[in-house]
Structures are given as C-alpha cells and as structure tokens.
Amino acid sequence: MPSREPQILPPAFVPPYLLSRLAESASPPLSDCAANTLTIDREHRALRALVPPAVVSNITGTPVRPARPDSPERAIHDAGHTTELPGRLVRTEGKPATGDIAADEAYEHLGATWRLFREVYERDSIDGAGMPLTGSVHYGRNYDNAFWNGAQMVFGDGDGQVMNRFTIAVDIIGHELTHGVIDHEAALVYQGQPGALNESICDVFGVLVKQHTLKQTARQADWLIGAGLFMPSVKAKALRSMAEPGTAYDDPVIGKDPQPAHMKDFVSTPQDNGGVHINSGIPNRAFYLAAVAVEGPAWEGVGRVWYDTLRDRRLRADADFAAFATLSIEMASRRFGAGSAVHKAVADAWLATGVTEP
C-alpha cells in the first residue's frame, strides 16, 4: 500500500489522491494497478529531479533538432509494457498508420497540439525552437497515468476497469505537452497556488487543442478534460470540468470530484503538492467564464491572453492566482484594448471566482 505521508509528486494527468483512493479502497487487481502507478510516478519524479531535460533527451535516444517549419517531427515508440524508454520505434513523421490504436492516437494528438501552438501562437514546438515530439505508448502494465518527463510523452494503457487508454483524448496530450511549454517559459513551481496555476494552464491549452481540432467556438465546447478516460461503468463525465469544477465525477469507487470553483472554497491541504489538481478548478473556471463571454473561438481571444501572460517575463515562478490574474488583465488590455470585450471578460471572470476584488 502507498504511504499516507504527503509527498511531492511530478506533473502527471491523474491526481495522486484519486490513485491513492483506488489503491486503498478498491479490491485487487485494481488496487495493485493504482499502487504500482503511484510507485512509478514517484520514480518519475526522482528522474526529473536528478537529470536535466537535455540529459533526459539523450536517455530517450531522441536527438533535438529543428522541426520542419510546415509540420511537427513526431516519433512514436512502443514500450512493450515495460518502463524502459523510449521503446521500439513504430511510427515516424509522415509514415502511415500502424493499426495500433494507441500509437496512432498518440501520433495524431501530438500533431494536433503542435498545430495549435504553431498556427495560432506561432510557437515552434514545445520549446519554441523546433523540438521533436516523442511519445511512448503501452508503458508499464495497466499503468493508470500519462506524463511529460521533460523530453517526451509517456502513455499508460489504463487498468481496463476504471480507466481507459491515455491516448484516447486529445486534451490529455495537449495538457501534458503544455507542461513542457511551461517548463520553457514561466517554470511555475509545482506546489500550492503556482502549482495549481501550472495545472490550470495545462487544462486551458489541453481544452484549446480539442476545440481547435473540432473547430468549436467557446460556447459550442463541452469544457471537459479527459472525456472518455473513465470506463462506461464509472459515474463520470471526465476527470475535470472547467465549466463546473466539482461535477466531473461522483462514483463509489473513485469518489467525488473535489475541485472548488471559487476562492471561498479554496482547499488548504498538504496532499497533492498542496492541492495543485484540486484548486486548479478556480483558474479553470475563470478561463471558462471569460472565454464564453466573448464571441468566437476561445483560442483567438482569451486563449491568446493566457499565452501572452505565460510568456511575460514578469510572471514569476512562484506566482499565485492574483498575480496571474492581474497580469492577464493587463495583457488583455494591451492586446485587445482597454474596455474591449476580451479585457472586460477577463477582468469579470477573475472577479466572479473571487481571485480579485471589486
């Protein structure tokens, strides 16, 4: 059984508190899958703490070289249910589908994330300098998570009882790759409010990848993160809801979604790196409110404000919600004009979630 002591875990899609619940209350083999996932996640943290990203790139065997300006440079590997990375190379850029649904989903969704950042924000891959996009599927056995390790994406197949394969939703991949973008920009500390901002920004760009792929306006979108991840027997819409934090799931096995939507309900906890996956619901809700208040696609208006804010050198690594809010309001005014629809929507959204005061 996993330790009950609070531990700093690395960025990964499924929060540690949900995995801990499965490990402690579910029956085998599901509890064993969750416990094994938590163990792997801790080992992943140790690797990120000890090995700089450039060295991790050498470990994966993926050379860092400029991508072609008109397309990403993707490489998909099959880890063969081991934890050795990157695994056997199964698909490279421009090659046909493999017939392995996980490998082909990873290839397509890596491309979708690249296209959002390239076509909308003129960013050349994750590092802004043409970094190749590498992914490994079939990682471990019944591994219930996905993560960015500083150099590549890693995807588990899920346990088949509660969780499906982690390549199933494009926003999962968009979310995790955005951790890489944050690493190269603000490097937000993965603890407390800065950590919750880190998670929220990843949700923002994960959902924007989905909306951009589906060509949806903000008002057409479902604003769900990880829809399809839970098996049909689980009472869950997704892992998180940006529109209604706290409503994504309510199930006897995985528990109830604990996310707050307003600062009055902010959760103070030593668990989950100080609630990074929990309190991210507050800035998530702020982004949603701002986006739906503006006509058209979210990636063009409020999404651009969030990207500008993330890249602003004044955004400190230890920024809290209020600091990000203040800077984003300024960025909205600077790009779209003081008193513009976007500027007003951003300011109103932070006020509505209690992050700023009248």
pLDDT in tens, 189-205: 999 999 999 999 999 99
What whole-number distance in Å separates Cα of residue 40 and Cα of residue 139? 10
Mean pLDDT lowest among 44-48, 84-88, 108-112, 286-290: 44-48
Where would I find the beta strands (DSSP E) of the chain?
Answer: 74-78, 88-92, 133-137, 146-148, 153-155, 224-225, 240-241, 250-251, 255-256
Query: Which of the 8 DSSP states describes residue 245?
Result: T
In which band, very low, low, confident or very high, does the pLDDT at 306 lie, cut at 50, 70 and 90? very high
Q: For the chain, what percent of residues have pLDDT higher than 90? A: 86
- The answer on 312 and 226 residing in a single domain is yes
**Host domain of residue 335:** 192-352
**pLDDT value of position 60:** 39
Q: Does residue 105 carry a catalytic annotation?
A: no
pLDDT higher for 76 or 9? 76
Which of 176, 185, 244, 330 is an active site residue? 176
Last residue of a domain, which of 119, 154, 184? 184
User: Mean of the pLDDT values across residues 310-335?
Assistant: 98
- Choosing from 167, 184, 201, the residue where a domain stops is 184
Q: Which two tokens stand for residue 199?
A: 């998670």
Same domain flag for 255 and 119: no
* Of residues 62 and 331, more confidently modeled: 331
Would you place residue 7 in the very low, low, confident or very high pLDDT band (cuts 50, 70, 90)?
A: very low
- Same domain membership, residue 332 and residue 207: yes
Residue 67 has pLDDT above 50, yes or no: no
d(C-alpha 150, C-alpha 158), whole Å: 22
Instruction: Please check whether residues 126 and 169 belong to one and the same domain.
Output: yes
C-alpha span between 41 and 11 (Å, rounded): 9
Answer yes or no: do 154 and 303 share one domain: no
Q: For residue range 145-185, what is the model confidence (pLDDT) as tens digits?
A: 999 998 999 999 999 999 999 999 999 999 999 999 999 99
- Asked whether residue 216 falls in the same domain as residue 337, the answer is yes
What's the CA angle centered on 179, arms 303 and 291, to 5 degrees? Answer: 15
pLDDT of residue 70: 81
Sign of CA dihedral 267, 195, 176, 243: positive
pLDDT, greater one: 87 or 358: 87
Task: Give residue-wise pLDDT tens across range 214-252.
Answer: 999 999 999 999 999 999 999 999 999 999 999 999 999
Count CB atoms within 10 A of the CB of residue 243: 18
Give the pLDDT of residue 43: 79
Percent of the chain clearing pLDDT 70 (strictly above): 90
Q: How far apart are CA 17 and CA 250, in angstroms?
A: 14
- Is residue 176 part of the annotated active site? The answer reads yes
pLDDT, residue 51, reads 41
Give the pLDDT band (50/70/90) at residue 47.
low
- Is the pLDDT reported for residue 56 higher than 60? no
- How many independent structural domains does the chain possess? 2
Q: What angle do CA 107, 131, 314 make, to 5 degrees?
A: 120
Query: pLDDT value at position 157?
Result: 98
Does the pLDDT at position 68 exceed 60? no
Helix 192-214 to helix 321-336 angle, to the nearest 10 degrees?
A: 40
Q: Are residues 201 and 309 in the same domain?
A: yes
Active-site choice (73, 277, 330, 343): 277
End-to-end CA, the chain? 48
Tell me the pLDDT band of 49, cut-offs 50, 70 and 90.
very low
Domain boundary residue among 135, 167, 184?
184
Average pLDDT across the chain, whole number: 91
